[in-house]
Structure 1
Amino acid sequence: MRLVLFLKNALIFKFLKTEFKRSRLAFFIILLVFVFHAGANLIKSNIFPVFIYSMYSEPQYSMPTTTDRYVFYADDKPIHVKNMFVQGRISGPVERYFRFKENKGEDPITNKRINYFSYFFSNDAIWRFKNILYKKSVDLAVFKDWYKKYFAQYISIKYSKLSVYQFIYSLDDLENPKQIHYLFSLYE
């Protein structure tokens, strides 16, 4: 009871009560914006009034990406899907393979002597992947063996068969591809 009396007599509530009587439309607009904002956060979507959406929506600040996918299959069931390839580099197992290969089996992220960022943001990994793995079947076989062991660490299952399918994605047209991705399939 004392809490209710305190809230009734609090200055802020007196102020809001008198202001609400004067301008109900302003309070309604503020409430509407708050409800839209809270609802968008709850469902993780961009449901905003137009003026807010144009300023703060995802397309305004997100990096340009392509949307190819690595899909890993075991017994004809997808066990891992990876989306989102940032333009200018190859993400995923191929990039990691070259990191290990060039640094004598050490991961550059854990090895402080290697300048990880200069490697990570270079386009050399793309061309090495394209020229070595894409054209030489021996290197592709070595990569398959390495990748089977690497991937088995993360899902705790060993696989005997790994199929690699070429994926060409172009930002302009299919005659002049800017990025080459691969679709990997694993079978027990």
Structure 2
Amino acid sequence: MDGLNDYRRARVAEILADFTTLQFYIAAAPVDPPNQEDYYTEGWRALRQCAVDGQHILNTGADTHVPITKGGLEEQSKAELQQVHLDALGRRHQGQKIYLRQAAAQRWIELRNGILQGKKPAAEHQASLQACDEQLWLELAQITDEGIYADLQAADIQMGRWTGEDPSLRAVQRWIRSRR
């Protein structure tokens, strides 16, 4: 018995609160363009995929399988909290990834609208629209698990949160793969 279960409970609550906020933002992002001719363009396709991914996280049940431990109720509670901690951290990580992808797609929409200035795409816009798409692809490629994990961890530390038992990036990635 290590006496840290109160810290573990608080940590899980913080992570779940972050995830809830992310889900709010994910759900609020647009998925359908005002002009249906833009439906299959890169940014709108990315936004729809983000909405699907966000819904998937919500629909994925928690892994509540925790082996029975020796050491009594306190040790069993510790094992259960560690499992819930991994689940919450994995969900927050995925939520942050979706949120960042949505932000990149929304920047793409603004840039594209600036190029078109209310006009329909035409040959004169071709090079600028292609550059706009390439910028989106570049931004999406820069959204990595390593970067997200490091940024979230740094933010948690800056806020004075207890991160002493946060699962590793590798554990989070295993959790993500197991939910596909």
TM-score normalised per structure 2 = 0.20
More helix by share: 2
TM-score normalised per structure 1 = 0.19
Bigger relative contact order (CA 8 A; separation at least 6): 2
More strand by share: 1
